[in-house]
Structure 1
Amino acid sequence: MEESKNVGGGILYGLIVIFVLAIVCSLIISLLLTFTSLQESSLQFVVTAISFVSLFIGGFVSGGKGKQKGWLLGGLTGLIYSLIIFLFQYLGHDSLFDTQQMIYHICFILTAMMGGILGVNMSNKSRTAA
């Protein structure tokens, strides 16, 4: 029972971190686009990089909170994130993922897995040091 609580809590914390980072970064980017002469196309690489960093941090948090099976926690965090984005896109815009988006979301899941692995290992180091 305790293990499933750690898994669920870790994934929830990871998703919250991902969406909070996404909201904050979206606000900053929208302010930059509004009040400067920057174009949306010039920030495409920055937005992609921020997305990967957010998923990595979310996976890291989920792995750290779950304390075991970081690859699974990070992968589930990335998968649930992708499913939420898919639902927004499908229900809001009536469109499915195209091939490029599928590749991005597979890479997002892999990135969150790497973050989860690192998060578990960092939480294990802090426990053994104490």
Structure 2
Amino acid sequence: MFIGGFISGGKGKERGWLSGGLTGVFFTFIILLFQYLGYDSMFTLRELVYHLCFIITSMMGGILGVNVTSSRA
């Protein structure tokens, strides 16, 4: 998730928290669809906390991706 956020933040060049967050939200949405449609179950509280941490980690990667690519330019 961190690497995905880093790449999306680097390509976006601004608002890394948003592009990284959207990367995390998209990942969570895909996993939710897979779990709901494939296994007919929703997220448990534990899985919800994991996915919130995934989104935050992806946001951090996006912020770092913007700052690293803008300092090289």
TM-score category (smaller protein): over 0.9
CA distance in 2 between partners of 1:79 and 1:114 (Å)? 14
Q: Which runs of 4+ in 1 moved over 6 A?
A: none
Residue identity over aligned pairs, in percent, reads: 62
Residue 60 of structure 2 corresponds to 114
Q: Which amino acid in 2 is paired with 1:97?
A: F
1: CA distance, partners of 2:68 / 2:21? 17
How far has the Cα of 1:90 moved from its partner? 0.3
Within-5 A mapping of 1:1-130: 55-127=1-73
1:103 and 1:87 map into 2 onto residues whose CA distance is 17
How many angstroms does 1:100 deviate by?
0.2
Could you tell me how far apart the structure 2 residues matched to 1:68 and 1:77 are? Answer: 14
Unmatched 5+ stretches in structure 1? 1-54
Distance in 1 (CA, whole Å) between partners of 2:47 and 2:13 is: 31
Question: Larger relative CO (CA 8 A, sep 6+): 1 or 2?
Answer: 2
Q: How far apart, CA to CA, are the structure 1 residues paired with 2:68 and 2:25?
A: 22
* Letter paired with 2:14: Q
